Amino acid sequence: MTSSLAASALALTGVSQAQMAAGNSREYYELRKYYLRSGPQTKLTDSYLSDALIPALNRMGMTPVGAFTLTLGPQTPTVYLLIPSMNLETLVTAQLRLASDGEFMKAAEPFWNAPAIQPPFDRVESALLIAFPGWPKLTPPPSTAQKAKRIFQLRSYESPTDQDHVRKVEMFHHGEFEIFHQSGFDQVFYGDALIGNRLPHLTYMLSFADLSELDAKWRAFTTNPDWKKLSSDPRYAFEQIVSNIDNQILTPTSYSQI
């Protein structure tokens, strides 16, 4: 965690004063994965998230909460939960505070009291992220308010060293946000991993109407002259600063707030 925090602080040296000011009110995110088995588990978990957990998180001031099923990627079925919070303590203590919420406990009873021989999930995996200074708050796409059909692309970039990680974060602040905007992307969030697996890494989310739009916008991005210039800059191209990319396609659940 100390290493990743230091990397984030170093990255600030490459952003503008306006972005640094925005960084003072950056959100924190918990990205949680519920690994399930096909069958009763999926229905029980859906009911728990929609009727118990997400309403309780909202009462704690954490909103909007995203809930997604894994459409393209390993280990299906998996449900992803994206929980934002302006207050780190609220986020990291939320699970412990749930037991004192009577409304939550009543709604969560089937999930929390499931027997060990019929658990409601196989495993839960979680990562703690802090928003990038230049994108300090989660931004739901317009399609969320319109309740339109949409998919989400969740991408994580691992770097071989802390120095390379800092440079990759810096690239977003030195033009990559704007190139995504020029290419028509709906940018949802950008987060630097503080706690989680396979550090150092960053994670971000984009939204599209469908896979054909995803392909078209990525073509526009990769052929953008500004991207060609940025990606060939010696500061970022002197070595491979991204060693692995994890790329998944998610579909929002009926109860997702994103």
In whole numbers, what is the pLDDT of the chain averaged over residues? 91
Average pLDDT over residues 43-60: 97
Assess whether pLDDT exceeds 60 at residue 18.
no
* 3-class secondary structure, 4: helix
The pLDDT assigned to 235 comes to: 94
Average pLDDT over residues 12-21: 47
Assess whether pLDDT exceeds 70 at residue 15.
no
Q: Could you tell me if 77 and 114 lie in one domain?
A: yes
Q: Could you tell me if 21 and 49 lie in one domain?
A: no
Q: Is 241 domain-assigned? A: yes
Q: Is 77 domain-assigned? A: yes
The last residue of a domain, from among 111, 130, 149:
130
Q: Could you tell me if 49 and 115 lie in one domain?
A: yes
Q: Is 64 domain-assigned? A: yes
Interval 112-125: pLDDT, tens: 999 999 999 999 99
Q: Could you tell me if 84 and 65 lie in one domain?
A: yes
Q: Could you tell me if 99 and 10 lie in one domain?
A: no
Give the predicted TM-score (pTM) of the model: 0.89
Q: Could you tell me if 18 and 138 lie in one domain?
A: yes
Cα distance between residue 102 and residue 124, in whole Å:
23
Interval 170-218: pLDDT, tens: 999 999 999 999 999 999 999 999 999 999 999 999 999 999 999 999 9
Assess whether pLDDT exceeds 80 at residue 14.
no
Domain containing residue 47: CATH number: 3.30.70.100
Q: Could you tell me if 19 and 138 lie in one domain?
A: yes
Q: Could you tell me if 32 and 44 lie in one domain?
A: yes
Assess whether pLDDT exceeds 70 at residue 63.
yes
**Residue 118: CB partners within 8 Å, gap ≥ 6?**
40
Interval 74-121: pLDDT, tens: 888 999 999 999 999 999 999 999 999 999 999 999 999 999 999 999
The better pLDDT of the pair 193, 238 is held by: 193
Q: Could you tell me if 14 and 142 lie in one domain?
A: yes
Cα distance between residue 217 and residue 208, in whole Å:
9
Q: Could you tell me if 76 and 155 lie in one domain?
A: no
The pLDDT assigned to 24 comes to: 61
Q: Is 17 domain-assigned? A: yes
Q: Could you tell me if 96 and 168 lie in one domain?
A: no
Q: Is 258 domain-assigned? A: no
Q: For residue 186, what are the domain limits?
A: 1-26+132-253
Total structural domains within the chain = 2
Q: 22-25 contacts: CB < 8 A, separation 24 or more? A: 22/133, 22/134, 22/136, 23/133, 23/134, 23/136, 25/86, 25/136, 25/137
Closest CA to 253 of 1, 117, 38, 70: 70
Assess whether pLDDT exceeds 80 at residue 9.
no
